[in-house]
């Protein structure tokens, strides 16, 4: 082979060896870049500095646990308003009656947990019409605060009892709305003190109706639902068949346990008979309640019904209140 030919072959081979592979060639005009160095095997990964979101707040509960009243609890309460001895044992500072209430409540042993109740008469019917002619007086917020604190100290609930005079239930309940945003405050309604036009208290029995009671139930339910509160008690007291018309339309609503409480006077046999009679018209879903009177039930040598006797009545009361 000629020396010139051999030299050409060597030059050509060298040229091919210096040509980059087509698939890995850098496009024309682009700068050649080195790949970014990865983390060293011994170099720790950089942790995120963002704080985790806070956990959602726990749903509010009843003072002794849970979010529903029934069938977990048996409610036992005292009633009253400041300075009115005749209206029940809570006529003076409620904290003075806490021990007696807790002792009384402990005697109701039916397998349920006991929940003490302080039923404050927050709207008190009056013999005179007053400045607005409504025949009722509202207690001050400072009084409600005092009774609410006593209820909390006893791990119980507060019920705001309404005797509307010639006002109406919903108007009077709205007056105390800020307290209904609390998880341990409910409502009690006294239809016998809902006076009809031209009627005055203590001369006539008052009268309300199922629609008026339902309006309060729905109003309270709206607050409970919106704020995800535990179940509230709403009691309506009934002393005879006259004081609540069209009772059959009364219905529970979400977050509201409705209680029909029988208030009849007399000896223990009369009271038990009144209770059985008036409970015949109890609407579906409404819980039974019963009221005892320390004074009226013990006139003329009569003896107050014992907790054991109360628990034998049918239906068994789920709320027992002492006035």
Residue 164 inside a domain? The answer is yes
- pLDDT at residue number 48: 59
Dist CA 164 CA 162 (whole Å): 6
Structure confidence at residue 7 as a pLDDT band (50, 70, 90): very low
By percentage, how much of the chain surpasses pLDDT 90? 72
Dist CA 147 CA 139 (whole Å): 11
**Count: domains in the chain:** 1
- pLDDT at residue number 100: 93
Residue 64 inside a domain? The answer is no
Q: Which element (helix H / strand E) includes 75?
A: strand 73-80
As a whole number, mean pLDDT of residues 108-122 equals 96
> Which has more pLDDT, 35 or 217?
217
311 and 114 Cβ atoms separated by less than 8 Å: no
> What is the overall mean pLDDT for the chain?
87
- pLDDT at residue number 264: 85
**Phi–psi pair at 184, nearest 5 degrees:** -125, 30
Cis peptide preceding 315, ω within 30 of 0: yes
Residue 173 inside a domain? The answer is yes
Integer CA distances (angstroms), 291 to 166, 245, 302, in order: 24, 20, 16
Tokens of 187: 């409502």
pLDDT above 50: residue 27 = no
- pLDDT at residue number 44: 56
pLDDT above 60: residue 30 = no
Q: Which domain holds residue 216?
A: 73-322
Residue 67 inside a domain? The answer is no
CA 215 to chain centre: 17
> How many Cα neighbours within 13 Å face the side chain of 52?
4
- pLDDT at residue number 89: 79
Residue 273 inside a domain? The answer is yes
**What share of residues in the chain are helix, strand, coil (percent, to 5)?**
35, 20, 45
Residue 300 inside a domain? The answer is yes
Please report, for the domain that includes residue 81, its CATH number: 3.20.20
Residue 314 inside a domain? The answer is yes
Alpha helices (H) along the chain: 3-18, 98-105, 141-153, 169-175, 177-180, 210-227, 268-278, 307-311
Which of 21-25, 162-166, 178-182 bottoms out in mean pLDDT, i.e. has the lowest? 21-25
The H helix count followed by the E strand count for the chain is: 8, 11
pLDDT above 50: residue 79 = yes
Q: What is the pLDDT of residues 202-244, one digit of tens each?
A: 888 999 999 999 999 999 999 999 999 999 999 999 999 999 9
As a whole number, mean pLDDT of residues 34-41 equals 54
Residue 269 inside a domain? The answer is yes
Cα–Cα–Cα angle for 86, 87, 91, rounded to 5 degrees: 90
Q: What is the pLDDT of residues 280-309, one digit of tens each?
A: 999 999 999 999 999 989 988 899 999 999
Structure confidence at residue 92 as a pLDDT band (50, 70, 90): confident
C-alpha R_g of the chain: 37
- pLDDT at residue number 38: 54
By percentage, how much of the chain surpasses pLDDT 70? 85
pLDDT above 70: residue 195 = yes
Kindly tell me the sign of the dihedral angle through the C-alpha atoms of 36, 41, 46, 52.
positive
């Amino acid at each position: 082979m000629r020396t010139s030919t051999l030299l050409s072959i060597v030059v050509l081979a060298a040229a091919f060896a210096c040509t980059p592979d087509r698939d890995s060639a850098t496009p024309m005009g682009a700068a050649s870049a080195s790949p970014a160095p990865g983390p060293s095997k011994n170099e720790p990964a950089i942790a995120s500095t963002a704080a985790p979101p806070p956990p959602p707040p726990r749903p509010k509960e009843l003072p002794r646990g849970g979010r529903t009243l029934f069938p977990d609890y048996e409610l036992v309460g005292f009633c009253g308003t400041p300075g009115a001895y005749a209206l029940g044992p809570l006529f003076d500072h409620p904290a003075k009656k806490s021990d007696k209430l807790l002792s009384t409540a402990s005697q109701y042993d039916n397998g349920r947990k006991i929940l003490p109740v302080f039923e404050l008469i927050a709207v008190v019917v009056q013999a005179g019409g007053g400045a607005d002619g409504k025949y009722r007086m509202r207690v001050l917020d400072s009084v409600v605060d005092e009774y609410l604190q006593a209820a909390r100290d006893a791990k119980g609930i507060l019920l705001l009892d309404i005797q509307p005079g010639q006002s109406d239930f919903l108007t009077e309940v709205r007056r105390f709305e800020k307290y209904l945003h609390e998880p341990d405050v409910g409502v009690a309604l006294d239809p016998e003190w809902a006076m009809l036009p031209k009627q005055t208290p203590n001369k006539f029995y008052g009268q309300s109706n199922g629609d008026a009671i339902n309006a309060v139930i729905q109003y309270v339910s709206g607050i409970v639902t919106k704020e995800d509160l535990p179940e509230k008690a709403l009691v309506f007291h009934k002393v005879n068949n006259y004081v609540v018309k069209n009772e059959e339309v009364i219905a529970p609503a979400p977050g509201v346990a409705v209680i029909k409480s029988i208030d009849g006077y007399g000896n223990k046999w009369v009271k038990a008979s009144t209770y059985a009679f008036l409970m015949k018209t109890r609407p579906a879903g409404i819980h039974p309640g019963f009221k005892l009177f320390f004074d009226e039930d013990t006139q003329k040598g009569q003896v107050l019904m014992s907790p054991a006797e109360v628990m034998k009545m049918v239906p068994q009361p789920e709320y027992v209140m002492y006035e």
